Amino acid sequence: MVEEHVLAVERKVVEDVGDFHGLNFDIESYLPALFAPGVPRFIPRSAAEKNSNYKQIIPYVIMTHGGRYLTYVRGKRAGETRLVGNRSIGIGGHINPVDDMPLLGDFGATYLEAVRREVAEETSLGASHTDHIVALLNDDSNDVGKVHLGVVHYWILGDVNIRRREQMITQMTFMTPEELVGVRGEMETWSRICLDGLKEMAKKAVSAAPAESLFGGI
């Protein structure tokens, strides 16, 4: 069986820009450092999960329409078994070499291709959308967070024409921020952090350039 490889950066890269906990909205400082030539690399996932000297890069896509946010519960088929049964407001996953095959090491393009692939694998989206990267997410308080770094996307949907494609997604629906606060205790850690920052994310999305343009100079 071929082992999965995932895109990661050395923790030191993040620390050199500025270590943080929770959300950091200064994406203009972090993205060029994370995706600079020679910085990201594909490493075996089994090694990455045990080595906190590396951070696996995970796109975390939050979808919103009309003041409500997409939310779901991770079923038993979830790829990250430590998150099974938790409610989430983020769609995303690991970046694999398959995303880089036609891109020849352009990791900015690799990353954006991975975002599109992850969303398409997990959902069938029939709505138009805008994509803005609004924050970085870091949480070293648990074993999952210690080896992952989230890049938080804020997708504004043209309508709610979306359905699940993977069995790991259950109870998918849209909720208001107030309704989400009511189920906050059911959420995975990253979603709780994002829920607390939704107002700031919405403001950031208004002024942020489209995601594609952020990688143009990297």
| Residue 73 CB contacts under 8 Å (≥ 6 apart), including other chains | 85, 86, 87, 88, 169, 170, 171, 186
Q: Does residue 96 register a pLDDT over 50?
A: yes
CATH for the stretch 5-214: 3.90.79.10
CA distances from 130 to 26, 61, 62, 65, 208 (A): 20, 11, 11, 11, 11
Provide the token pair at 196.
């607390």
Residue 217 pLDDT > 90: no
| pLDDT tens digits for range 148-179 | 999 999 999 999 999 998 878 899 999 999 99
Instruction: Indicate the helix (H) or strand (E) that contains 182.
Output: helix 177-182
A 10 A CB-CB count for 137 gives 23
Whole-number mean pLDDT of the chain? 89
pLDDT at 65: 97
In the structure, what pLDDT confidence band is assigned to residue 112 with cuts at 50, 70 and 90? confident
pLDDT attached to residue 100? 58
- Answer yes or no: are the C-beta atoms of 20 and 138 closer than 8 Å: yes
Q: What is the DSSP annotation of 65-104?
A: ETTEEEEEEE-TT-SSGGGTT-EES-B-----GGGTTTTT
Task: Return the structure tokens found at 35.
Answer: 């995706």
Q: What is the mean pLDDT of residues 11-18?
A: 97
156 beta partners:
64, 130
Domain ranges of the chain: 5-214
Query: Residue 103 pLDDT more than 60?
Result: no
Q: Which amino acid is at 41?
A: R
Model confidence, pTM: 0.91
